[in-house]
Structure 1
Amino acid sequence: MPKIYADITRTIGNTPLVRLEKTARYHGVVAEILLKLEFFNPLSSVKDRVGVAMIEAAIKEGKLGPDTVIIEPTSGNTGIALAFVAAARGLRLILTMPETMSVERRKLLKVLGAKLVLTEGARGMRGAVEKAWELQRMIPNSIILDQFSNPANPEIHRRTTAEEIWRDTDGRVDMLVAGVGTGGTITGIAEVIKSRNPAFRAIAVEPARSPVLSGGQPGAHKIQGIGAGFIPAVLNRNIIDEVIQVEDEDAGETARLVNRLDGIPVGISSGAAIWAAIQIGRRPENEGKRIVTIVPSCSERYLSTWVFESVDVGSDPVP
């Protein structure tokens, strides 16, 4: 039946679960891996949910009006989400971002009308966060929504993402594998499903080169979107049953493999999450178990990065 939406933000959510077939067989996986394809959101990432949730919460609480300047540190996808929501709602937005983030992300932010302030790449998200607070002190009538501490972040996943997974699996789900950036996704989903299924396990994914969740030191890594280098305030560490560290190269190789074998255009952090899900899914004790893996964004946003730099864009020989 035809349906017309009032604006693009109303199209967020209800993303599909798709079984990982060929890549799973290639790696000898004995569990069932289902990918939650968040790039089906309008601006192609899981952060679309968070962007609209934080803005709507701030408006409802009286913290955000038509003359308020929104400032936010981002590794890219949250900024893109905020940018399209701000454009649709007529709001002003300044974003701080490490200079190492992909060109596609940076261009899209500017196309959507946001102002962009780049910070030193080696300092990671911590540098972007510090710059955002510096700007907030300088700019009158400005607000930082702060995805790392904003309760609207995990709450939107409680209300939508968790319920979608529960509905689409008929409640038959054994594990969640999710990369941790802010921690909102894994927190919101796991809190809801664990309350209904105490045997449900939540596996967090972080970069091996910045193993903060595992008690290690923050470090530079190439898995955009996860591994902020600190423990985010919204992350409920009590719901995490296991942390898996992923090397940059494994994340990249897995992303390329899934694109090629399954035709699913996953990006860098998705490659990390899927690599972790494969390790879990190969364990004999997990035979027949159902593992839902969050795919935050698609490969199109990373074509200029190291993951796909070896792709030859020239003419191919044919018979």
Structure 2
Amino acid sequence: MRFFSDNAAAAHPAVIEAIARSNHLDTAYDGDALSQSLDRAFSELFETDVRAFWVLTGTAANCLALAALCPGYGGIICHKDAHIEVDEAGAPGFFADGAKLMLVDGPGAKLSAESVDAAVGEVRKDVHQVQPKALSITNATEYGLVYSAAEVASLGEATKRHSLNFHMDGARLANAVVSTGASPADLTWRAGVDALSFGFVKNGGLNAEALILFRTELADEIAVRRKRAGHLASKGRMFAAQILALLENDLWLDNARSANAAAQTIANAAGERLIYSVEANEIFVRATAAEAESLRAEGFDFYDWGPDEIRFVTSWDQGGEPVDQLAAAIAAL
């Protein structure tokens, strides 16, 4: 009964079937019909012209985007608990030729326009300090909170005030869309986002993520950077096939609804033990070391997050008995 990460979830059967259908001789790299159809598919989803690229990991999607949005001598404002800071082993600086992450605090790993204004204001406007050039946020955040369309738009206005480019890490964008009820367009480019890392692996994909450019003029640079980074896979059609399968008939949203609903079941059982409100598919719970051990003894797998804090993550394929059992076990502590 594993609740340690949605990265470990099964690939959806529709994804496996789509890969099997793509398993035939075709043009290599991204010249195949499936890869070439991504621009159109995502342009329809986001209600505007975009350029879309498959990549193999969320780290690559994040860092390729940031490399195009921030020069090597610039800074990227992000939360101190952002994935690009805590879980990517310095990859943003590696991909972006030394660009610096400029860390900001905020409850639930969320940033606000005010915190961005303050971060920019602390930097002297001279050659002796790194100047901020981009902003990166995560939706849903590393603590499972979501940005509403209005909150993203407020941050978008801040990026305009300070001439910053705007990136969104959407590893769990599907969960945020379901939670807010906002359209993908309203959560991204209409709110000022320039580039989006669109997560699929956590939501039923096998090994394909998408990098979406709302500023389409960046596409040529991304194409070169993807190749240079070793992410131009030979059989690109198999990555495109996964993404298209999840977009078809809004399967990506159905999967996120299942994960979010499972999280709410556990949240309802946790009650006052909750550390953050549960707005997507992550649940942070107060529990002593002894209580955590008792849950593990019952067969539940999860992360210890801090002193007397544990984290559960639900997946698209995890409804029913395991979720109900975990909810009962937490309620019984």
TM-score, scaled relative to structure 1: 0.30
Computing the radius of gyration from Cα coordinates, the structure with the larger value is 2
* TM-score relative to the length of structure 2: 0.29
Highest RCO, 1 vs 2 (Cα 8 Å, sep ≥ 6) = 2
